[in-house]
Structure 1
Amino acid sequence: MYYETYGSGSTPLVLIHGGGSTIETSFGNLIPLLSKYGKIIAVELQAHGRTSDRDAAESFEQDANDVAALLKHLKIKQANILGFSNGGTTTMQIAIRHPEIVNKIVVISANYKRDGLLPGFFEGMQQATLDNMPKPLKTAFLKVTPDQKKLQNMFEKDKNRMLNFKDYADESLRSIAAKTLLIVAQHDVVTLEHSVQMAKLIPDAQLVVLPGTHGSFIGEICSTESGSKIPEATAILITDFLKR
């Protein structure tokens, strides 16, 4: 499992990328803005970027177990976890399945039920091919793993992970004990109504709605807006939440 570390300090912040992504595509613009936080560990999940694959389907549950195993390997007893998009769904699974290793979580643009995504999402996913994958994500993958077959494999596994996604029970979200910050964009692929519902279910969760689209407010490569100061504001919100 590939990971990178930045900075130093106790209670590291673990960053979990979105589907089809690498550390750089999800967090290349955000990591420098979070530099004042302290120690950061950015990971790449199964079949993504520089992490190897296994003879098994991807799932958010397995991704959660992989991150927990990494922290155990690194002898880190507790961490803050931040996940974007599919990484946010994985972050919730970590808090549900491995509460003992979690201090706080930041869940960005993630869903826990299928109907939390915009209408037509799953219908479009059924017809999706590698040609539909955003070019910046394909380019970034091939830059760190120059193998077209591995890119195709990652795409198919990501696609099937979403198509096979089953709703989480409301009770699962109610069981999350970690302090939680939910962030979503005004024009995200996750509906505002769904994000509000999540904030109601997770005990004492805080919800922030920011202007922009999916990923734009963290400077994600496919939606970053030149000259925008919103990612800086997002980093301040995140750091303030984690430090309190």
Structure 2
Amino acid sequence: MISCIVNASKIQVSKEKFIMAVFTHSSGQHLLVDDAEIYFEVTGNPAGKPLLLLHGGMGNITDFNGIVDKFASQFKLIGIDFRGHGKSTLGTSRLTYQQYQADVEAVLAHLDIDSFSILGFSDGGNTALRLAVETPSRIKALVAVAAQSHLDVDDPVFSMLSGVTADFWKTMFPDSVAYYKENNPEPDFEALLKAVVSLWTDIEHSAYPGEAIERITAPTLLVRGDEDHLCSLECVVELRNKIKNAAFLNIPYAGHEAYKDSPILFTEAVNDFLANRLA
């Protein structure tokens, strides 16, 4: 990439070094948090500003491999597998967004990272919202994709999520299940799915951030795929109205995984957002 920097009467042209980056599930480390082994990897620019990537439910850090190259030159990228996901073990604690938050904070403390930006998708976005509420001074910028502040029991999505079974998931996503069984140190797919469904349908304080999102002060970009059947337009508009100075990107023709469905538009918008907020 060639960037032009205009300064008074002269133009300086500089070449930005392109850094290849990928999450491999072979180059990271485990950190013991309570009785769970939390797996994480660090890639990208070692001298860059920290950018934390948090994946969605039943996913893992490799889900971001289609876009990480677009951020690798500018950022030190930290990918964390949530409890039970990817190469992290499940442990015995109940899965909640509060627990995810605690695990993330433990990894960041281990890496001695005090301030950072976040790109979180779905469950990762919900966890990112909690982090932005609870530790506002640490968050430099927040990109939340398909994130929600709450889920009501009368929401059609609630009944949809509460009815998800292991057999359904195996039928719909056989490659994902096979990858999990091959890579997780202590694979128990049925136990993981049950724990994640419980997390999705937990409407107590330890789950979604709720009205506390009004306390978020970090520059925030909310992203939604226009055809997302799990995160409604109304939910994201509510977030935008309650988070001060939040920006909103609704990506046409994209579904729940908008960052995968429209990677070029997504990465260009996010890079522009981060460049303007972190300058």
The answer to whether the 8 A contact 1:118-1:191 is kept is no
2:163 alignment partner in structure 1: 127
Q: 1:78 to 1:141 in 2, by over 3 A?
A: same
Bigger share in strand: 2
1:23 alignment partner in structure 2: 61
Structure 1 CA distance for aligned equivalents of residues 167 and 239 of structure 2:
33
2:178 alignment partner in structure 1: 139
* Residue deviations 1:43-80 (CA, integer Å, cap 9, x gap): 10111111122211111011112111211110111110
Structure 2 CA distance for aligned equivalents of residues 140 and 237 of structure 1:
31
1:159 aligned to 2:200? no
1:88 aligned to 2:130? no
1:237 aligned to 2:277? no
Runs of 4+ in 1 over 6 A off after TM superposition: none
Q: Residue 142 of structure 1 aligns to which amino acid in structure 2?
A: K
Q: Displacement of 1:5 after TM fit?
A: 1.4
Structure 1 CA distance for aligned equivalents of residues 178 and 209 of structure 2:
33
Q: Displacement of 1:10 after TM fit?
A: 3.4
Comparing 178-187 and 35-44, the one that deviates more: 35-44
SS of equivalent to 1:114: coil
Percent identity between the two aligned chains: 25
Q: Displacement of 1:103 after TM fit?
A: 1.0
SS of equivalent to 1:91: helix
Residue among 91, 96, 99 paired with 1:59: 96
Point out where structure 1 has 5 or more consecutive residues left out of the alignment. Answer: 225-229
* Residue deviations 1:84-140 (CA, integer Å, cap 9, x gap): 01110000011111223211111000111214x995222233332111112232122
Superposition RMSD in Å: 1.9
Structure 1 CA distance for aligned equivalents of residues 210 and 78 of structure 2:
29
Q: Residue 110 of structure 2 aligns to which amino acid in structure 1?
A: H
Q: Residue 89 of structure 1 aligns to which amino acid in structure 2?
A: N
The answer to whether the 8 A contact 2:144-2:221 is kept is yes
The structure with the largest alpha-carbon Rg is 2
Point out where structure 2 has 5 or more consecutive residues left out of the alignment. Answer: 1-37
Q: TM-score with structure 2 length normalisation?
A: 0.77
Q: Residue 103 of structure 2 aligns to which amino acid in structure 1?
A: D
Bigger share in helix: 1
* Residue deviations 1:183-205 (CA, integer Å, cap 9, x gap): 00101121111111100100111
Structure having greater relative contact order (Cα 8 Å, sep ≥ 6): 1
The answer to whether the 8 A contact 1:50-1:144 is kept is yes
The answer to whether the 8 A contact 2:129-2:209 is kept is no
